[in-house]
């Protein structure tokens, strides 16, 4: 890469490690600020958590996981292999240390800290998608309310309470409770099992794989170099540049390096002073045809399942499974999703499912992402968004590019300091 040396005028070149939505967004916004960018990925574009997620752009539902009720639910789920939260029996001491730290943050004080950290990201996240679209990223986002379905009004009170708490801390959320019939009028796929609902307006959805591919194509069209099959094993900082080295011995140097490797961030980030662990909270999804077109997203909070219109049918996503990022897909988790969602939905041809997928979402124990400068000059981290990496990916890239090029951390990133 040319233009390694610089003095006083800011960085000219950047290497971004990770070709998911967060890494490619950082690359795109760094290009917007005039940097020459190379993106490296050990596999391919959108090979991690970016391809098969539900595709929701849902700031209204970017609610921290670490509330006290989740701790109680998690303890019960440990004994149930069909539960949406799954922790396989393992001797991995790192996982159990992580879960203990997560449990320590399952307090209202911890929840409020995570919620406040997410507020500025949620406030600007949809605008960041609009900036990408106006800048040539050819993948439309679709505005549609999310309709949540519940067995009863009593069950719906849990989500209504979460949304109320989010509005109380300053999140802009437009929501209203529904009867079961009102929910079915808006989403005909909901069955008679649904006795109550919640309508959450101002949200969007997207085909995530198509979006990330379009983002990568835009980075290339603007002069960026995307190299796949580049398994980064080392980053060495120097005075005005850093060198990234692959397992095969190939190296690339640039003024700045952004680590955006999601659930695989652990080894590299610890080398540069990060003490907040990141674990893979794996999500599963598949696609199914439907008898009728699906008007918009459907959420089933009782069973933690998200459904999204996808091409000619429905993408169904669920589960939080704490296993190593590269572990093989567990068919039992897919069956558990189907068994839990089937009673709430009709007109879904479950036996014709395709696109079975598992992807590792990077989860932190305190519910806050890791975005900002590390101890070595010119090395930055962007990750740890948990389930909200797609929603918050572009705004993360935009804010981090601002920090890198100005040398000043945006106030919006203050609570996301990776060195906290």
- Report the distance separating Cα 165 and Cα 269, nearest Å: 33
- Report the distance separating Cα 354 and Cα 351, nearest Å: 9
- Predicted pLDDT of residue 267: 84
- Predicted pLDDT of residue 368: 98
- Report the distance separating Cα 317 and Cα 56, nearest Å: 11
Which segments in the chain show pLDDT lower than 70? 1-8, 72-82, 89, 91
Q: What is the pTM of this model?
A: 0.94
- Predicted pLDDT of residue 2: 42
- Report the distance separating Cα 50 and Cα 319, nearest Å: 16
pLDDT per residue as tens digits for the range 218-254: 999 999 999 999 999 999 999 889 999 999 999 999 9
pLDDT per residue as tens digits for the range 309-363: 998 899 999 999 998 999 999 999 999 999 999 999 999 999 999 999 999 999 9
Residue 183 tokens, joined:
């929910």
- Predicted pLDDT of residue 82: 67
- Predicted pLDDT of residue 188: 97
- Predicted pLDDT of residue 92: 82
């Amino acid at each position: 890469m040319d233009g390694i040396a610089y003095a006083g005028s800011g960085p000219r070149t950047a290497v971004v490690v990770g070709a998911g939505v967060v890494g490619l967004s950082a690359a795109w916004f760094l290009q917007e600020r005039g940097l020459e960018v190379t993106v490296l990925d050990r596999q391919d574009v959108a090979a991690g958590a970016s391809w098969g997620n539900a595709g929701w752009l849902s700031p209204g539902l970017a609610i921290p996981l670490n509330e006290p009720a989740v701790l109680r639910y998690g303890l019960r789920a440990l004994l149930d292999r069909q539960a949406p939260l799954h922790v396989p029996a393992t001797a991995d001491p790192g996982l159990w240390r992580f879960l203990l730290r997560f449990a320590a943050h399952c307090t209202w004080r911890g929840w409020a800290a995570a919620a406040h950290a997410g507020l500025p990201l949620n406030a600007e996240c949809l605008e960041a998608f609009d900036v990408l679209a106006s800048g040539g990223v050819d993948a439309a986002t679709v505005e549609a309310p999310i309709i949540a379905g519940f067995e009863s009004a009593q069950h719906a009170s849990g989500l209504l309470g979460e949304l109320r708490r989010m509005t109380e801390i300053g999140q802009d959320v437009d929501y209203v409770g529904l009867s079961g019939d009102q929910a079915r009028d808006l989403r005909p796929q909901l069955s008679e099992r649904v006795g109550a609902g919640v309508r959450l307006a101002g949200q969007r959805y997207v085909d995530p794989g198509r979006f990330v591919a379009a983002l990568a194509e835009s980075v290339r069209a603007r002069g960026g170099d995307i190299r796949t099959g580049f398994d980064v094993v080392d980053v060495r900082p120097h005075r005005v540049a850093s060198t990234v080295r692959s397992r095969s011995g190939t190296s690339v140097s640039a003024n700045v390096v952004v680590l955006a490797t999601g659930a695989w961030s652990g080894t590299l980030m610890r080398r540069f002073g990060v003490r907040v662990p990141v674990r893979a909270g794996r999500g599963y999804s598949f696609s199914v045809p439907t008898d009728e077109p699906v008007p918009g997203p459907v959420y089933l909070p009782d069973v933690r399942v998200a459904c999204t219109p996808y091409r000619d049918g429905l993408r169904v996503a669920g589960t939080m499974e704490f296993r190593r990022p590269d572990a093989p897909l567990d068919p039992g988790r897919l069956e558990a999703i189907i068994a839990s969602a089937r009673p709430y939905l009709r007109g879904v041809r479950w036996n014709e499912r395709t696109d079975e997928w598992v992807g590792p979402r990077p989860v932190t124990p305190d519910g806050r992402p890791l975005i900002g400068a590390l101890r070595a000059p010119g090395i930055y981290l962007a990750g740890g968004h948990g389930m909200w990496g797609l929603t918050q990916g572009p705004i993360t890239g935009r804010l981090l590019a601002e920090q890198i090029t100005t040398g000043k951390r945006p106030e919006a990133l203050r609570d996301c300091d990776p060195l906290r």
